[in-house]
Amino acid sequence: MPNAAPSASTRQRIITAVLQIIGEDGVAAVTNRRIAKEAGVSLGSVTYHFETQHDLLRESLLHFVREEARHFTELADQCQTEGIDVEDAASLAGQVACGTALDSAHLAPFELYLHAGRDERLREAAAEAFRAYDRLAARILTALGVPDAERLAATTVALVMGLQLRRLATGSPADDLVDALLLLTRGAVGRPAGPDPLG
């Protein structure tokens, strides 16, 4: 199968172009002609690799999440190996947030999540993305010794996503993220594990 590598490369260039376009100008700007131009591929290559725009959007979102999950899994492994505490983990999260350029590639997923609210066909991809983030958060929280890590994971992800969106919109510092994560995890560590006393 000699064409497998070039085909994969073309597909990847298309996905990268889609994320760039969405980050720069939103989902409405995604056209086959613009994708072909940005990716440096023929117009036919776009439709060859992706039958519909929905396929393009779904695969682009999933690609972004896989790459983010891979990167953060490496960080989680590093945290587990080094045995860091809650404060160090929150500080590391802040460093990652500061080190993450709020460029078009990082704007794109927020655009896609919002688009999933309008397009049911994208919701499963968005749900898969959040499940990946939740699993990763649960793993990190467990490694930190946080009780009920599985239960707290979605809240942690929502906190990080919300503060990243706020940072994106306002330019607020990553220190806000560090403070919020410390507040959440210290509160979780300080309470007994088990069912929610309010629920």
If the chain, 199 residues long, is cut into consecutive pieces of 10 residues, what is the mean pLDDT of each piece? 64 94 93 96 95 91 83 73 70 64 74 89 87 84 84 90 85 76 77 50
Q: How far apart are CA 170 and CA 23, in angstroms?
A: 17
- Residue-level pLDDT at 5: 58
Q: How far apart are CA 170 and CA 158, in angstroms?
A: 18
Q: Is residue 100 part of a domain?
A: yes
Note the pTM of the prediction, 2 decimals: 0.75
Q: Is residue 133 part of a domain?
A: yes
- Residue of 99, 100, 97, 107 whose CA lies nearest to 179: 97
- Residue-level pLDDT at 188: 74
- Which residue range is the domain that position 104 belongs to? 60-189
Q: Is residue 116 part of a domain?
A: yes
Q: Is residue 37 part of a domain?
A: no
Q: Is residue 38 part of a domain?
A: no
- SS3 state of residue 57: helix
Q: Is residue 40 part of a domain?
A: no
User: What is the CATH number for 159?
Assistant: 1.10.357.10
Residue 62 neighbours by CB under 8 Å, 6+ apart: 125, 128, 129
Please count the structural domains in the chain. 1
Q: Is residue 22 part of a domain?
A: no
Helix then strand then coil, % of the chain, to nearest 5: 80, 0, 20
Q: Is residue 51 part of a domain?
A: no
- Residue-level pLDDT at 18: 94
